[in-house]
Amino acid sequence: MYKDIEKVYYTQEALAAIVKRLGKEISEDYRDKKLLLVSILKGSVVFMADLMREITVPCEIDFMCVSSYGNSTENSNSTVRIIKDLDCDIQGRDILLVEDILDSGRTLSHVINVLKTRNPRSIRICTLLDKPERRVVDLKADYHGTDVPDEFVVGYGLDYAEKYRNLPYIGVLKKEIYSDI
């Protein structure tokens, strides 16, 4: 275990089982549809890479980079910024937003509102982790990996100040690492 991690919540093996289950559910639901997986960068890239390999129906991928945290541990009330937009036209497509963690819901709500103006056939959400007790926007994932307690978690793509994304598990970051902010 990495020295800055207080405890491990989900091991590499547990994450693989979650991703396999989600891939099966998505494959069943998106048979005969024009599936476009949209990774919300940077946090979901590891999850999406594993997830798309578990999906057994044809799909395409694209990426959006959206910022609302910066180097903070809290989602700010400021405007969500789209840093990198989609490269493809989504009109008539079935969009599955792939997110690492659904927390307040502000970021995904903003992304969904932007994408709806582009006339997709459908927009659904797949999140690896969910913190429902932190939700401030009425938003629920269509595909839900697992709940995570209201602690600051990193690893498997999730970061703090761009660090810890490469950890193969999800763990709780020690408070002394981020408490001075």
Domain extents for the chain? 15-152
Q: Is residue 181 predicted with pLDDT exceeding 60?
A: no
Q: Is 103 a catalytic residue?
A: yes
Structurally, what CATH architecture does the domain formed by 15-152 represent? 3-Layer(aba) Sandwich (3.40)
Residues 137-162: tens digit of each pLDDT = 999 999 999 999 889 999 999 999 99
Residues 121-131: tens digit of each pLDDT = 999 999 999 99
Instruction: Indicate the average pLDDT of the chain.
Output: 91
Q: What pLDDT does 149 receive?
A: 86
Residues 2-52: tens digit of each pLDDT = 899 999 999 999 999 999 999 999 999 999 998 999 999 999 999 999 999
Q: What pLDDT does 105 receive?
A: 92
Q: What pLDDT does 178 receive?
A: 85
Q: What pLDDT does 5 receive?
A: 94
3-class secondary structure for the chain? CCCCEEEEEECHHHHHHHHHHHHHHHHHHCCCCCEEEEEEECCCHHHHHHHHHHCCCCEEEEEEEEECCCCCCCCCCCCCEEEECCCCCCCCCEEEEEEEEECCCHHHHHHHHHHHCCCCCEEEEEEEEECHHHCCCCCCCCEEEEECCCCCEEECCECECCECCCCCCEEEECHHHHCCC
pTM, rounded to two decimals: 0.90
**Marked catalytic residue, from 50, 100, 103, 130:** 103
Q: What pLDDT does 69 receive?
A: 52
Residues 45-89: tens digit of each pLDDT = 999 999 999 999 999 999 999 887 544 445 445 578 899 999 999
